[in-house]
Amino acid sequence: MAKQSKTDKASSDGRKVIATNRRAFHDFHVLEKYEAGIKLLGAEVKSMRAGHCVISDAYATVDRKKYALWLHNLQIAEWNAGNQIERHEPKRKRALLMHKREILKLRQKLLEQGLTLVPLSVYFKGGFAKVELGLCKGKKLHDKRQSLKEKQAKREIARRVGR
């Protein structure tokens, strides 16, 4: 049997994870998590299904006038097998789909000092492209060091218990 790749695995709740932002958990404290749909073009969906997505530099913003949510710097590679007319820009600004009341709640929370919206993972759920957003607060250098110490301690305990 062939080994399954990371993009082929589906979790118990029907998610097929395309990309995760591990750097976000290192740089930020995740206070809350939200799920939003992504408005994509056809070639972008095909490219994402093939696993050609980079999420590490992405961030989300709330448009103050239109109550819209936007995802910036999500890099989806161009789909080479498609026609030349429907090419998309790899790092274009993409609309996120959420209910208006959820966007208003996020907007109020983002007005607090130092909070930002960071995409944590991109996945397919029920055939729709989704992104998991985290309402995050930046970590200080000493917080990052503390997180690394905790991670190393857990790894050492798991190593000793495994023997």
pTM summary value: 0.75
Q: Which residue type does 114 have?
A: G
Q: Which residue type does 79 have?
A: W
Question: Where residue 125 falls among pLDDT bands split at 50, 70, 90?
Answer: very high
Write the class of the CATH domain 15-138. mainly beta
The phi, psi pair for 126, rounded to 5°, reads 65, 30
User: How far is the C-alpha of 88 from the C-alpha of 107, rounded, in Å?
Assistant: 29
User: How do the domains of the chain map onto residue ranges?
Assistant: 15-138
Tens of pLDDT, residue by residue over 3-56, are 444 545 556 577 889 989 888 888 888 899 999 999 988 888 888 888 888 898
Tens of pLDDT, residue by residue over 63-93, are 878 789 999 998 888 877 756 666 777 788 9
